[in-house]
Chains A and B, each alone.
Chain A
Amino acid sequence: MGRLVGRHGDKEMSGAKEGAELRLVTPGEAIGASSGVRAGTGTLVQGENIIATKVGWVKDNNGVVSVDPIHSAYMPRSGDLVIGVVESVRNNLWFADVNGPFNGLLPMSLAPWKVEFGAARVHMDIGDIMLARVQEVDEAHNIVLTMKGVGLRKLKDGIMANISMNHISRLRGDSDSTLNKLKEVSDCRIIVAENGRVWVDGDSEGISFMRKVFELVRNDGHKAEFNASLDAMMNQRRNA
């Protein structure tokens, strides 16, 4: 089973050439012999074989065999821009759900406000949404967030949408080209965070247009004709 390369993100897949056959594998499926190659992400060495651990496309990059997963969970890395939802508040820190396997911790000292001990709730309460950056991820998978930085703040207006981690690059386009077009067409402020969450603020028409865009990303994000469908949608709105 295979298909022709024509998918977005192939540029990053430096091993893949236009027209080369990509192989879709499922967990446990043998990709090839383990001798002479290294096992990359999404793979495991079992005996003399490299096996896939996820559903995805096989890629071979200079002797490193890996599986480019079709769906994966967000794993926080330091420096990521994330949109978090406050889950609980203590006297001097907030815990935020960052769409990952572990909650993020925002200490009082890394918040943008001068917070009195015990008054954290005054600034941000449960359910509030924040734009933050991952400060560090330690070996015990504790995630420390920071809101000190340009543009990092509590998000008060607008909507938040979830998209699959693997569609983020499609929504952004090459060096944010698609995202900039969307901003212009929808006349909205849009922030695409690394954890698969998108924040949109603008007038109601712009937001409803963006909701349709997210629907398209969810349903057709994998398809080769995604960019064409998106362009058609944008042209339709421009001409309306």
Chain B
Amino acid sequence: MGGYGDVQLLRDDGLRLDGRKVDEMREVKIEAGILPAADGSAWVQHGLNVAVCAVYGPMEAHPRKIQRQDRAVIDVRYNMAPFSTSDRIRPGFNRRSREISKVTAESLESVVLVERFPRSKIRVEIEILAAEAGTRCVGITAASVALADAGIPMRDMIVGVASGKIEDTVVLDLDKAEDNYGQADLPMGILPTTGEIAFLQMDGDLSVEEYNTCVEYNMKAAKEIHELQIDALKRRYEEKNGGA
């Protein structure tokens, strides 16, 4: 049963509390280029999560001690707005946002051709405006679109997506209740074209079979989100051209 005893997360008809099937994702909407001041930007809504991402650069890296002689550094700042959850979040960096900024930067480094811009810095600012579980994945999805919009060379897009386990059942894309009262959570950063995994974290316990199912669900969802990313980027420029 669930990690917290008597919380029922699966309905008797086999569907989840919000009526989704076990392998069904929340609705995702993506827009590219929403911030005029940024070099590239994106807005992603994933269920009730809303993330905005702005990308600046490549620019001279300051302070000089962070410069790398052979490549660019990606400076990610993940932040949750104080009003993003029902309990007000104290503004500013905390342990959790530091961790997420770090893992996001590392996963983005695997797609961005950082060796093209030695000694420089690419600034990625991810702001979570509304949170409902899975914000690190939404942040990665948004950052990928914003980087592409900024014209930063990348060898693939990257999609953040999570699966997990509730009531001994593997489900795709956990919502808040499932994340809080479920048994396990497996967020992944996936390169959709090649199927490579750039980022993987696991919270809770999964058997090998359950893990494999999670990966399978994530891969499938990553392809769907990738389509939406491409659509957002193409729509932005098709519109700019006044249509085809």
Contacts and interface: CB of A to CB of B under 8 A. Distances in A.
A51 B193 contact: yes
Interface centre among A24, A27, A42, A223 (most CB of B within 10 A): A27
B176 interface: no
Contacts of B238: 1, 3, 24
A3 B118 contact: no
Interface string A51-65: 101110000000000
A26 B234 contact: yes
B242 A225 contact: yes
B107 to A, nearest CB: 15
Contact of A1 (B192, B229, B234): B234
Interface stretch (B18-26, B146-154, B164-172, B212-220): B146-154
A4 B238 CA distance: 11
Contact of B149 (A1, A4, A55, A103): A55
A39 to B, nearest CB: 12
Given A26-B234, A27-B148, A101-B60, A53 B241 contact: no
A72 B242 CA distance: 21
B240 A223 contact: yes
Interface centre among B57, B113, B191, B193 (most CB of A within 10 A): B193
A91 B65 CA distance: 22
Contacts of A24: 234, 237-238
Nearest to B72: A101
Interface string B84-114: 0000000000000000000000000001010
Nearest to B229: A26
Contacts of B151: 54-55, 69-73
Interface string B106-145: 0000010100011110000000000000000000000000
Given A53-B153, A55-B148, A28 B120 contact: no
A7 B191 CA distance: 32
A80 interface: no
B244 A101 contact: no
A42 B57 CA distance: 17
B151 to A, nearest CB: 4
B230 interface: yes
B193 A71 contact: no
A46 interface: yes
A44 interface: yes
A26 B230 contact: yes
A73 B148 contact: no
Given A3-B238, A24-B238, A223-B242, A102 B154 contact: no
B244 A53 contact: no
Interface in A21-41: 24, 26-30
B240 A101 contact: no
Nearest to A98: B60
Nearest to B232: A26
Nearest to B36: A218
A154 B189 CA distance: 48
Interface centre among B36, B194, B241 (most CB of A within 10 A): B241
A26 B191 CA distance: 13
B155 to A, nearest CB: 6
Contacts of A221: 240
In the complex, the 8 A-B pairs of residues with the closest C-beta atoms, listed nearest first: A28-B156, A101-B58, A71-B151, A101-B120, A222-B240, A53-B153, A27-B154, A3-B244
Interface of B: 36, 39-40, 57-60, 69, 72, 111, 113, 117-120, 148-157, 191-194, 229-230, 233-234, 237-238, 240-244
26 contacts: A3-B238, A3-B244, A27-B153, A27-B154, A27-B157, A28-B111, A28-B156, A28-B191, A28-B194, A29-B230, A44-B113, A51-B156, A53-B154, A54-B152, A54-B153, A55-B149, A71-B39, A71-B149, A73-B57, A101-B57, A101-B120, A103-B60, A141-B118, A220-B240, A223-B242, A224-B242
